[in-house]
Amino acid sequence: MWSRYRELLGRGRSLGRRAWRWKSVAANERALQYRVGEQIHGFTVEQVTAVPELFLTAVKLSHDGTGARYLHVAREDSNNLFSIQFRTTPMDSTGVPHILEHTVLCGSQKYPCRDPFFKMLNRSLSTFMNAFTASDYTLYPFSTQNPKDFQNLLSVYLDAAFFPCLRQLDFWQEGWRLEHENPADPQTPLVFKGVVFNEMKGAFTDNERIFAQHLQNKILPDHTYGVISGGDPLCIPDLTWEQLKQFHATHYHPSNSRFFTYGNFPLEQHLKQIHEEALVKFERIESNTEIPKQKLWEKPREQRVTCGLDSFAADPSKQTTVSVSYLLTEFNGSTREAYFSVGLQGIAERDIVTVKQIIDRTIDEVIAKGFEEDRIEALLHKIEIQLKHQSTSFGLALTSYIASCWNQDGDPVELLKIADKVSRFRQCLKENPRFLQEKVKTYFKDNPHKLTLSMSPEEDYHDKQAKMEAEKLEKKVNALSKEEKTQIFEKGLKLIALQSKPQDTSCLPALKVSDIEPKIPFTVVETTLTADEIPVQYCAQPTNGVVYFRAVSSLNTLPEELKPYVPLFCNVITKMGCGALDYREQAQKIELKTGGMSVSPHIIPDDSHLDVYEQGVLFSSLCLDRNLPDMMNLWSEIFNNPRFEEEEHFRVLVKKTAQELSNGIPDCGHLYASIRASKNLTPSGELQEMFSGMDQVKLMKRIAEMPDIKPILRKLPRIKKYLLNSDNIRCSVNAAPQQIPEASKEVEKFLKGIARSKKERKPVRPHVIEDPTFKPCQMKTHFVLPFPVNYIGECIRTVPYTAADYASLRILARLMTAKFLHTEIREKGGAYGGGAKLSHNGIFTFYSYRDPNSLATLKAFEKAVEWARSGEFTQQDIDEAKLSVFAAVDAPIAPSDKGMGHFLYGISDEMKQSHREKLFAVNSDNLVEVSNKYLAAGKSTRGQAVLGPENADITKDPSWVKR
């Protein structure tokens, strides 16, 4: 993955309350005993700092022999994390750090088998494994809850980073190569192939990505930030294998590294292993990777760039993006000097000047009048709630949070002292009420290093890109001698032979199935009937002063013609104002009193019947204990008195929603393909497509294009009448034990205060839908989109969660991905990703992501089934698939999410335990049997979908529907 972090809110395991308290002492107390100057396994302790508001102790060390820097964060969290990062400062756009990130993971001295990184996904119980290339550093993190697993993964990561094989064939596979379209036929034309090459072609179909990349390159043009670290597809083919090895030698050295560990495993063990397995083999060097300060401009600049047309844009004449950005010389952001950007998307080109004027005017107003106190308080409240909310991937969030600052020699420990910063900020405001206004004047108003960047689409943008690629290819091919062409053909055959060769993975460490806990800890939940028989589930958890509230309201009585508008209703219902509050005041109140309020469609497949499902809407929010009455009061107002009169604001929300859906396609294309492919397989499939598939994207585009939006606005109060009442609702609360009585009082008050339309209440879960007339049917759809790569989904109707064969199919999906599809689709096919998965709703899905192929990939899915039916896998393969499935099953669950399987999906801990036992029991015969029974051609109903460019082969085939 390249340069953009998603906030990875994982799911975590917490201990019982008393154990949690006691253990929190253990990890921190151990860390507090280290003394500055103490020497441990080749490292010297430089600083020990307690950060009580985050329940952690930071220990900073440096390695005596190499100068490698080390930060350990001790915290009572069983999900332990390791990461190593190197400052990587490329000076061209060949993508060298990104291709290197891929290639070091393809085999190392101690682990010479191909692709140990992907192989370890199936030999470990890791909760996270990945690698990231940012603009100026490369980061390799993993996390796990198992100490043996931690040592295994650490060994593989250390060897990959410091002693990789960097074989030429791996460079060709992962980076770029010239190869015949059909490698077995020298008569077919030569083309560019390679995983990173295709990944970046896919990345730059995303206009937001194009804009962000240009912005950074143009505001910081002088050094490494002026190039594309991930690689420009037109420059990637200029990189040589020699340059790749040279870049590794100069950048991947302990003297240019930063190590980070987090969690409750003992630090000494980590230091000993890192010192002995890697650092002791190196001498200190001067790492010349510093990034000089950007030379400041004397006057502002303006730049224009182009991008592809957005085929889902509501108004084709309004596809310009413009932003005004300022370089902030004294602040560190994701680059050495941060920059602040403000702008708009989806405007007409003629309005660029107006937008600039609005920005300038706003800055002047702020300097004159300052900010409202409530706005400042709302932001400080947001920081407080983020500190208290416990995510299970806190270690990953920390390593991402400190990476940039530490990379530029900032102090990562200072960054962790968030409470200090907040009180310092309050102090500054108190001493000088104009503190913020002066900052705005200095950094924005009087700052000559200011860039106005605008981006407008070009009709033939993608054609031009393709033409430049074709010219580059032609130039490369024309320069080849006959001999070199023969070598290319032979090299292509050699690569395929290597990819198809059975692997000896015995050199890699692995956990055993016997290392997996046989039983899951059960979560205590209590369901009471409140306010007229409404079920409320309470789950007491160490939530650290935060209350989590959820409710599900049924959609059963909603007339069919209103259903397509449910996602839009969910999106706007908390943003239009309620009661006495207009939409601005409501937004402010939500920020000031809660950690966010969200509403989304919720389709729940039945656990024992494929044609039965529950349809509803999920309401969720969180707040600090002290703000619970305010949060529940906000929900009451939203349910009882939502406002639907602000037509202009509604239009803005519609356009924003339509734009966001369109922006999301390049990142989620495989999900859209899978949703469409499963549309006709179960009754809930159609609803899924309506709510979150391409149908929804197209509907929102249509609404956003309407000159008169009133008819749509008038549908909202009608939906409200059926949805926002207590007829068919259930609620849940996760909070600290002492907070539950207060919470139940507030929830009861809320439920008594909302409308109900009928006198009689039905029992809970009468609201499942059963469609006896439903008949699944096959469908193949091709969505033609202006992308250079494809996203593919093929779905097969199998069995529900509690069925005997469900566990076998789940293991099979993992086995096919690891042992067959990864090789076929990524290594040989050059797609960025692909595999098989079994969803909770009993749909078995094959998918691929950023894929240069289409029908060849669908053929690979067929071959995968044949492979599975032949039973050509070993017991070791099955055990690895089990480890991988259990890593997902046993992913940690945060206190806020405990009991949610039961509340949201009706899956009890007993059902989970029974599923667990079935997973353990799966054997080779079961796997062959389910491949024959469900996946073989003609056995089960299946659907296929492709999102991607025009395709002559698909067009010729009448069984495909073109959209």
Burial class, 455, CB count within 10 angstroms (exposed 0-12 / middle 13-18 / buried 19+): buried
User: Strand 843-851 vs strand 833-838: parallel, antiparallel, or unpaired?
Assistant: antiparallel
Q: At what angle do helices 628-640 and 740-753 cross, to 10 degrees?
A: 20
Q: What pLDDT, on the 0 to 100 scale, is given for residue 551?
A: 97
Answer whether 260's CB lies under 8 Å from 75's CB: no
Tell me the two tokens of residue 485.
Answer: 């062409």
> What is the C-alpha to C-alpha distance for residues 194 and 99, in angstroms, rounded to an integer?
10
Q: What pLDDT, on the 0 to 100 scale, is given for residue 24?
A: 46
Q: Which of 435, 535, 466 is nearest to 766 (CA)?
A: 535
pTM of the predicted structure, to 2 decimals: 0.88
* Count of other CB atoms within 10 angstroms of residue 850: 27
Q: What pLDDT, on the 0 to 100 scale, is given for residue 767?
A: 62
Q: Which of 64, 86, 83 is nearest to 73 (CA)?
A: 83
Distances, alpha carbon 5 to alpha carbons 133, 251, 831, in Å: 10, 22, 21
Task: Enumerate the active-site residues.
Answer: 101, 174
CA dihedral 146, 151, 152, 157 (to 10 degrees): 120
Q: What is the DSSP letter of 216?
A: H
- Sequence-ordered list of residues with C-beta below 8 angstroms from that of 254, at least 6 positions apart, any chain: 63, 66, 67, 68, 162, 278, 279, 282
Tell me the two tokens of residue 750.
Answer: 């809320």
**pLDDT profile of the chain (963 residues), mean per 10:** 26 27 67 97 98 94 98 96 98 98 96 91 94 97 97 98 97 96 94 95 91 97 97 98 97 98 97 98 94 96 95 84 95 90 95 97 97 93 89 93 95 93 95 96 97 95 94 96 96 92 90 95 94 92 94 94 98 97 96 97 94 95 97 97 96 95 93 97 95 97 95 97 91 96 96 78 59 88 93 97 97 97 93 95 96 96 97 95 95 95 94 97 98 94 96 94 92
pLDDT digits (tens, 9 = 90+) for 552-584: 999 999 999 999 999 999 999 999 999 999 999
Q: Which of 62, 79, 91, 61 is nearest to 125 (CA)?
A: 79
Q: What are residue 559's DSSP bridge partners? A: none
Residue 827, phi-psi category: left (phi > 0), alpha (psi -120 to 50), beta (remainder): alpha
Distances, alpha carbon 209 to alpha carbons 305, 456, 694, 950, in Å: 13, 14, 21, 23
Residues present in the chain in total: 963
Answer whether 915's CB lies under 8 Å from 849's CB: no
Q: What pLDDT, on the 0 to 100 scale, is given for residue 532?
A: 78
> What is the C-alpha to C-alpha distance for residues 61 and 38, in angstroms, rounded to an integer?
9
> What is the C-alpha to C-alpha distance for residues 200 and 133, in angstroms, rounded to an integer?
12
Order of strands, sheet of 338-347, starting from the edge strand that comes earlier in the sequence: 301-308, 450-458, 320-328, 338-347
- Using the structure block, give the residue that is written with the tokens 């109140």: 589
> What is the C-alpha to C-alpha distance for residues 486 and 506, in angstroms, rounded to an integer?
35
User: Strand 612-624 vs strand 779-784: parallel, antiparallel, or unpaired?
Assistant: unpaired
In three-state secondary structure terms, 774 is coil
Burial class, 735, CB count within 10 angstroms (exposed 0-12 / middle 13-18 / buried 19+): buried
Answer whether 689's CB lies under 8 Å from 674's CB: no
Q: What pLDDT, on the 0 to 100 scale, is given for residue 758?
A: 64
Distances, alpha carbon 161 to alpha carbons 267, 364, 920, in Å: 21, 50, 35
Question: From the CA atom positions of the chain, what is the Rg in Å?
Answer: 28
DSSP per-residue string spanning 356-391:
HHHHHHHHHHHHHH---HHHHHHHHHHHHHHHHS--
> What is the C-alpha to C-alpha distance for residues 697 and 664, in angstroms, rounded to an integer?
10
Distances, alpha carbon 916 to alpha carbons 282, 510, 888, in Å: 46, 21, 12
Residues 688-721 as b/e (b if ≥16 CB within 10 A, e otherwise) read bbbbbbbbbbebbbebbeeeebeebbebbeebbe
Q: What is the DSSP letter of 818?
A: I
Q: What is the DSSP letter of 771?
A: -
> What is the C-alpha to C-alpha distance for residues 75 and 263, in angstroms, rounded to an integer?
5
Angle CA 360–365–366, to nearest 5: 100
User: Strand 190-193 vs strand 612-624: parallel, antiparallel, or unpaired?
Assistant: unpaired
Q: What pLDDT, on the 0 to 100 scale, is given for residue 12?
A: 28
Q: Which of 90, 116, 87 is nearest to 102 (CA)?
A: 116
> What is the C-alpha to C-alpha distance for residues 494 and 170, in angstroms, rounded to an integer?
12
Answer whether 487's CB lies under 8 Å from 100's CB: no
Answer whether 143's CB lies under 8 Å from 128's CB: yes
Sign (positive or negative) of CA dihedral 438, 443, 444, 448: positive
- Using the structure block, give the residue that is written with the tokens 């207060």: 742
pLDDT digits (tens, 9 = 90+) for 690-715: 999 999 999 999 999 999 999 999 99
> What is the C-alpha to C-alpha distance for residues 719 and 835, in angstroms, rounded to an integer?
39
Q: What is the DSSP letter of 293?
A: P
Distances, alpha carbon 661 to alpha carbons 298, 310, 701, in Å: 40, 11, 9
